[in-house]
Amino acid sequence: MPRSIWKGAISFGLVTIPVKLYSATEEKDISFRQVHAEDGGRIKYKRVCELDGEEVPYGDIAKGYEMADGRMVVLDKEDMDQLPLATTKSVEVVQFVDSDEVDPAYFSKSYFLQADGPGVKPYVLLRDALTKSEQCAVVKVALRSREALALIRPKDGVLVMHTMLWPDELRDGSFAAPPDSVTVSDAEVTMAQSFIDALSGDFAPEDFTDSYREAVEALVQSKAEGVAPPEETEAPKEAEVVDLVAALRASVDAAKKRREAAAQAKTG
Protein backbone atom coordinates (compact mmCIF):
# COMPACT_ATOMS: atom_id res chain seq x y z
CA MET A 1 0.00 0.00 0.00
CA PRO A 2 1.42 3.45 -0.90
CA ARG A 3 2.16 6.06 1.75
CA SER A 4 -0.23 8.97 2.17
CA ILE A 5 1.25 12.33 1.17
CA TRP A 6 -1.20 14.55 3.08
CA LYS A 7 -3.71 14.33 5.93
CA GLY A 8 -6.57 16.74 6.47
CA ALA A 9 -10.33 16.99 6.23
CA ILE A 10 -13.03 17.75 3.66
CA SER A 11 -15.42 20.49 4.82
CA PHE A 12 -18.81 19.39 3.48
CA GLY A 13 -21.07 22.09 4.91
CA LEU A 14 -21.05 21.50 8.67
CA VAL A 15 -19.85 17.93 8.14
CA THR A 16 -16.12 17.27 8.53
CA ILE A 17 -14.59 14.25 6.76
CA PRO A 18 -11.05 13.33 7.91
CA VAL A 19 -9.14 11.97 4.91
CA LYS A 20 -5.73 10.82 3.73
CA LEU A 21 -4.43 11.72 0.29
CA TYR A 22 -2.60 9.29 -2.02
CA SER A 23 -1.16 9.90 -5.46
CA ALA A 24 -3.36 8.17 -8.04
CA THR A 25 -0.68 7.99 -10.73
CA GLU A 26 2.95 7.00 -11.18
CA GLU A 27 5.04 7.77 -14.22
CA LYS A 28 6.72 4.80 -15.88
CA ASP A 29 9.22 6.75 -17.94
CA ILE A 30 12.78 5.45 -18.38
CA SER A 31 15.11 7.04 -15.84
CA PHE A 32 18.62 7.89 -17.01
CA ARG A 33 21.70 9.05 -15.07
CA GLN A 34 24.04 11.67 -16.43
CA VAL A 35 27.41 9.96 -16.79
CA HIS A 36 30.87 10.58 -18.25
CA ALA A 37 30.76 9.06 -21.75
CA GLU A 38 34.35 7.76 -21.51
CA ASP A 39 34.14 5.74 -18.28
CA GLY A 40 30.46 5.74 -17.20
CA GLY A 41 31.16 7.66 -13.98
CA ARG A 42 28.17 9.55 -12.57
CA ILE A 43 28.07 13.32 -12.91
CA LYS A 44 27.54 15.05 -9.55
CA TYR A 45 26.33 18.57 -8.90
CA LYS A 46 27.17 20.79 -5.95
CA ARG A 47 25.02 23.54 -4.48
CA VAL A 48 27.41 26.49 -4.44
CA CYS A 49 26.66 30.04 -3.25
CA GLU A 50 27.52 32.54 -5.97
CA LEU A 51 28.65 35.14 -3.39
CA ASP A 52 31.17 33.22 -1.28
CA GLY A 53 31.77 30.22 -3.57
CA GLU A 54 31.14 27.75 -0.74
CA GLU A 55 29.02 24.58 -0.99
CA VAL A 56 25.70 25.03 0.85
CA PRO A 57 24.10 22.17 2.87
CA TYR A 58 20.53 21.39 1.83
CA GLY A 59 19.24 22.40 5.28
CA ASP A 60 20.60 25.93 4.81
CA ILE A 61 18.76 26.51 1.53
CA ALA A 62 15.73 28.84 1.67
CA LYS A 63 13.29 30.20 -0.89
CA GLY A 64 14.27 33.47 -2.53
CA TYR A 65 11.92 35.80 -4.40
CA GLU A 66 13.63 38.36 -6.64
CA MET A 67 11.90 41.76 -6.72
CA ALA A 68 11.62 43.85 -9.87
CA ASP A 69 14.39 46.13 -8.56
CA GLY A 70 16.77 43.20 -8.03
CA ARG A 71 16.37 42.84 -4.27
CA MET A 72 16.12 39.25 -2.99
CA VAL A 73 13.46 38.50 -0.35
CA VAL A 74 14.38 35.32 1.58
CA LEU A 75 11.57 33.13 2.95
CA ASP A 76 12.31 30.19 5.24
CA LYS A 77 10.12 27.21 6.24
CA GLU A 78 8.75 29.07 9.26
CA ASP A 79 7.60 31.95 7.05
CA MET A 80 5.81 29.53 4.70
CA ASP A 81 4.17 27.64 7.59
CA GLN A 82 2.69 30.88 8.91
CA LEU A 83 0.83 31.71 5.70
CA PRO A 84 -2.81 32.56 6.57
CA LEU A 85 -4.39 29.81 4.46
CA ALA A 86 -7.57 28.18 5.73
CA THR A 87 -6.98 25.35 3.24
CA THR A 88 -3.64 24.23 4.72
CA LYS A 89 -5.18 21.20 6.41
CA SER A 90 -8.67 21.24 4.95
CA VAL A 91 -10.37 20.68 1.61
CA GLU A 92 -13.04 23.36 1.34
CA VAL A 93 -16.01 22.59 -0.92
CA VAL A 94 -16.95 25.81 -2.71
CA GLN A 95 -19.33 24.61 -5.45
CA PHE A 96 -20.96 21.59 -7.09
CA VAL A 97 -20.90 21.27 -10.89
CA ASP A 98 -21.50 18.81 -13.71
CA SER A 99 -18.21 17.14 -14.62
CA ASP A 100 -18.56 18.07 -18.29
CA GLU A 101 -18.56 21.77 -17.35
CA VAL A 102 -14.84 21.63 -16.52
CA ASP A 103 -12.41 21.83 -19.44
CA PRO A 104 -9.90 18.92 -19.14
CA ALA A 105 -7.13 21.44 -19.89
CA TYR A 106 -7.49 22.59 -16.26
CA PHE A 107 -6.58 19.18 -14.78
CA SER A 108 -3.09 18.83 -13.30
CA LYS A 109 -2.66 15.75 -11.04
CA SER A 110 -4.95 13.03 -9.67
CA TYR A 111 -5.19 11.71 -6.09
CA PHE A 112 -7.18 9.09 -4.17
CA LEU A 113 -8.98 10.27 -1.04
CA GLN A 114 -9.26 7.68 1.76
CA ALA A 115 -11.48 8.12 4.82
CA ASP A 116 -9.42 8.43 7.99
CA GLY A 117 -10.74 7.07 11.31
CA PRO A 118 -14.27 8.39 12.02
CA GLY A 119 -14.49 9.84 8.52
CA VAL A 120 -15.77 6.63 6.92
CA LYS A 121 -19.52 7.29 7.22
CA PRO A 122 -19.48 10.96 6.11
CA TYR A 123 -17.10 9.90 3.31
CA VAL A 124 -19.67 7.36 2.07
CA LEU A 125 -22.38 10.02 2.43
CA LEU A 126 -20.51 12.47 0.18
CA ARG A 127 -19.58 9.75 -2.32
CA ASP A 128 -23.14 8.46 -2.66
CA ALA A 129 -24.65 11.96 -2.79
CA LEU A 130 -22.30 12.97 -5.61
CA THR A 131 -23.07 9.73 -7.47
CA LYS A 132 -26.85 10.10 -7.26
CA SER A 133 -26.84 13.81 -8.09
CA GLU A 134 -24.30 13.24 -10.92
CA GLN A 135 -22.29 16.17 -9.62
CA CYS A 136 -18.66 16.86 -8.76
CA ALA A 137 -17.35 19.05 -5.94
CA VAL A 138 -15.15 22.04 -6.74
CA VAL A 139 -12.79 22.53 -3.78
CA LYS A 140 -9.80 24.58 -2.67
CA VAL A 141 -6.82 22.81 -1.12
CA ALA A 142 -3.22 23.67 -0.20
CA LEU A 143 -0.67 21.09 -1.37
CA ARG A 144 3.12 21.37 -1.58
CA SER A 145 3.24 25.01 -0.45
CA ARG A 146 0.63 26.29 -2.88
CA GLU A 147 -3.15 26.57 -2.99
CA ALA A 148 -5.02 24.96 -5.84
CA LEU A 149 -8.50 24.48 -7.17
CA ALA A 150 -9.50 20.84 -7.41
CA LEU A 151 -12.39 18.65 -8.49
CA ILE A 152 -13.61 15.73 -6.37
CA ARG A 153 -15.62 13.00 -8.09
CA PRO A 154 -16.67 9.44 -7.26
CA LYS A 155 -15.02 6.66 -9.25
CA ASP A 156 -15.25 2.92 -8.58
CA GLY A 157 -16.36 3.48 -4.98
CA VAL A 158 -13.55 5.92 -4.21
CA LEU A 159 -13.44 9.72 -4.12
CA VAL A 160 -10.83 10.97 -6.57
CA MET A 161 -9.44 14.50 -6.44
CA HIS A 162 -8.00 16.20 -9.53
CA THR A 163 -5.99 19.33 -8.81
CA MET A 164 -6.54 22.08 -11.35
CA LEU A 165 -4.61 24.98 -12.82
CA TRP A 166 -5.76 28.52 -12.14
CA PRO A 167 -7.36 30.37 -15.09
CA ASP A 168 -4.32 32.65 -15.51
CA GLU A 169 -2.10 29.55 -15.84
CA LEU A 170 -3.83 28.48 -19.07
CA ARG A 171 -2.34 30.10 -22.14
CA ASP A 172 -4.47 31.70 -24.85
CA GLY A 173 -4.33 29.30 -27.79
CA SER A 174 -6.06 31.55 -30.33
CA PHE A 175 -2.70 32.10 -32.07
CA ALA A 176 -2.76 28.45 -33.19
CA ALA A 177 -6.14 28.67 -34.96
CA PRO A 178 -5.98 28.38 -38.79
CA PRO A 179 -7.03 31.49 -40.74
CA ASP A 180 -10.74 31.82 -41.55
CA SER A 181 -9.86 31.87 -45.25
CA VAL A 182 -8.98 28.15 -45.17
CA THR A 183 -12.06 25.97 -45.80
CA VAL A 184 -12.77 22.33 -46.65
CA SER A 185 -15.45 20.80 -48.82
CA ASP A 186 -18.46 18.76 -47.69
CA ALA A 187 -16.96 15.71 -49.40
CA GLU A 188 -13.75 16.07 -47.40
CA VAL A 189 -15.67 16.41 -44.12
CA THR A 190 -17.82 13.38 -44.96
CA MET A 191 -14.75 11.26 -45.69
CA ALA A 192 -13.08 12.47 -42.49
CA GLN A 193 -16.21 11.38 -40.59
CA SER A 194 -15.93 7.95 -42.24
CA PHE A 195 -12.39 7.66 -40.92
CA ILE A 196 -13.60 8.64 -37.43
CA ASP A 197 -16.35 6.02 -37.65
CA ALA A 198 -13.83 3.37 -38.72
CA LEU A 199 -11.75 3.96 -35.58
CA SER A 200 -14.61 4.59 -33.14
CA GLY A 201 -15.04 2.27 -30.17
CA ASP A 202 -15.09 1.97 -26.40
CA PHE A 203 -11.96 3.32 -24.73
CA ALA A 204 -9.90 0.47 -23.26
CA PRO A 205 -6.64 1.87 -21.80
CA GLU A 206 -5.19 -1.62 -21.34
CA ASP A 207 -5.09 -2.01 -25.14
CA PHE A 208 -2.37 0.64 -25.41
CA THR A 209 1.30 0.34 -24.49
CA ASP A 210 4.28 2.70 -24.39
CA SER A 211 6.24 1.48 -27.43
CA TYR A 212 9.08 3.93 -26.83
CA ARG A 213 9.65 2.75 -23.24
CA GLU A 214 9.52 -0.91 -24.35
CA ALA A 215 12.08 -0.21 -27.11
CA VAL A 216 14.44 1.60 -24.71
CA GLU A 217 14.16 -1.23 -22.14
CA ALA A 218 14.98 -3.78 -24.85
CA LEU A 219 17.95 -1.68 -25.97
CA VAL A 220 19.29 -1.37 -22.40
CA GLN A 221 18.89 -5.12 -21.83
CA SER A 222 20.68 -6.00 -25.05
CA LYS A 223 23.64 -3.68 -24.25
CA ALA A 224 23.83 -5.06 -20.69
CA GLU A 225 24.04 -8.60 -22.10
CA GLY A 226 26.48 -7.61 -24.84
CA VAL A 227 24.24 -8.75 -27.68
CA ALA A 228 23.09 -6.99 -30.81
CA PRO A 229 20.20 -4.56 -30.23
CA PRO A 230 16.78 -5.44 -31.64
CA GLU A 231 16.39 -4.68 -35.32
CA GLU A 232 14.43 -1.59 -36.16
CA THR A 233 10.96 -2.28 -37.52
CA GLU A 234 10.63 -0.60 -40.87
CA ALA A 235 7.55 1.59 -41.09
CA PRO A 236 5.31 0.89 -44.07
CA LYS A 237 5.91 3.31 -46.91
CA GLU A 238 2.88 5.20 -48.13
CA ALA A 239 2.54 6.90 -51.45
CA GLU A 240 2.28 10.67 -51.35
CA VAL A 241 -1.33 11.72 -51.85
CA VAL A 242 -2.19 15.31 -52.64
CA ASP A 243 -5.98 14.90 -52.78
CA LEU A 244 -7.45 15.02 -49.22
CA VAL A 245 -10.44 12.83 -50.12
CA ALA A 246 -8.19 10.19 -51.65
CA ALA A 247 -5.88 10.32 -48.64
CA LEU A 248 -8.77 9.89 -46.23
CA ARG A 249 -10.25 7.05 -48.27
CA ALA A 250 -6.90 5.24 -48.07
CA SER A 251 -6.81 5.98 -44.33
CA VAL A 252 -10.26 4.44 -43.86
CA ASP A 253 -9.20 1.28 -45.70
CA ALA A 254 -6.01 1.02 -43.62
CA ALA A 255 -7.95 1.58 -40.38
CA LYS A 256 -10.38 -1.20 -41.24
CA LYS A 257 -7.53 -3.60 -41.97
CA ARG A 258 -5.81 -2.75 -38.66
CA ARG A 259 -9.03 -3.28 -36.76
CA GLU A 260 -9.63 -6.65 -38.46
CA ALA A 261 -6.05 -7.73 -37.69
CA ALA A 262 -6.41 -6.68 -34.04
CA ALA A 263 -9.67 -8.58 -33.73
CA GLN A 264 -8.09 -11.72 -35.19
CA ALA A 265 -5.14 -11.41 -32.81
CA LYS A 266 -7.46 -11.25 -29.79
CA THR A 267 -9.49 -14.28 -30.85
CA GLY A 268 -6.40 -16.11 -31.49
Secondary structure element (H or E) that encloses residue 19, with its range: strand 15-23
Alpha carbon distance 182, 175 (integer Å): 15
How sure is the predictor about 84, in pLDDT bands with cuts at 50, 70 and 90?
A: low
Show the domains of the chain with their CATH numbers. Answer: 6-25+83-169 (2.40.290.10), 178-267 (no CATH)
Percent of the chain with pLDDT over 90: 35
How sure is the predictor about 107, in pLDDT bands with cuts at 50, 70 and 90?
A: very high
Residue 105, pLDDT > 80, answer yes
Residue 23, pLDDT > 70, answer yes
Phi/psi at 224 (5° precision): -65, -35
Residue 237, pLDDT > 80, answer no
User: pTM (2 decimals)?
Assistant: 0.70
Residue 83, pLDDT > 70, answer no
